[in-house]
Chain A
């Protein structure tokens, strides 16, 4: 059973515009949520995270929003740059289980 879902396998955005990547989860006990970025032939790299007690975390061009009632989080990238083109994975962490649950990823393409 997939506890973390990314329903959009791909997204294309013009350079300079906003990219919004979405993620849904089913387990209300998750206490941290993370976004990873993955380039071809490389492992995922950590991008940004948010605690379940917050609803927003911002780091430069990247902002993650958490809506606990909807069990939904999103990653906003503003402005989008061609170097942002990668696969983005949403992940959720359960303290005690020490396990990261990953979504299937969204391939972002930023068009120059």
Chain B
């Protein structure tokens, strides 16, 4: 298993601004994932971030809106850019290696006014 922390745990932001969410893992991992959970919805994968390569984005998500950094094997950031109220969600990072089992951080609850 892995211990994952996220910062900030929650934030309230004004529309048009950007927020960067940090994800720190206590061990080196190859694959890190960023998810979004909108109110009353399931978790939806935004992108997969591998160290040393560009993040791979899922359909409906673009790099300009959700730029991701992965500078090393224990850390990643997700930026939510030019925010609107529709971006109000819980954002979660996770790590995993095969078989689908992933370990999740506690999430960042974002409210955009």
Contact = CB atoms under 8 A, between A and B. Distances in A.
A91 B100 contact: yes
Given A43-B4, A43-B92, A43-B94, A32 B42 contact: no
B101 A89 contact: no
Interface stretch (B12-20, B80-88, B104-112): B104-112
Contacts of A89: 42-43
A2 interface: yes
Nearest to B4: A43
Contacts of A100: 33, 43, 45, 96, 100, 102
A23 to B, nearest CB: 11
Given A4-B42, A99-B45, A32 B99 contact: yes
Interface string B1-29: 00010000100000000000000000000
Contacts of B43: 44, 89, 100, 102
Contact of A93 (B9, B99, B107): B99
Given A32-B99, A93-B99, A99-B58, A43 B104 contact: yes
B31 interface: yes
B104 A45 contact: yes
Question: Could you tell me the dominant secondary structure of chain A's interface residues?
Answer: strand
A98 interface: yes
Contacts of B58: 99
B53 interface: no
B105 A43 contact: yes
B48 interface: yes
Contacts of B41: 104
Most B CB contacts (10 A, CB to CB) among A43, A99, A102 go to: A43
Given A103-B42, A104-B42, A49 B100 contact: yes
Nearest to A4: B42
7 A-B pairs with least C-beta separation: A93-B100, A43-B104, A102-B42, A102-B43, A104-B42, A32-B100, A44-B104
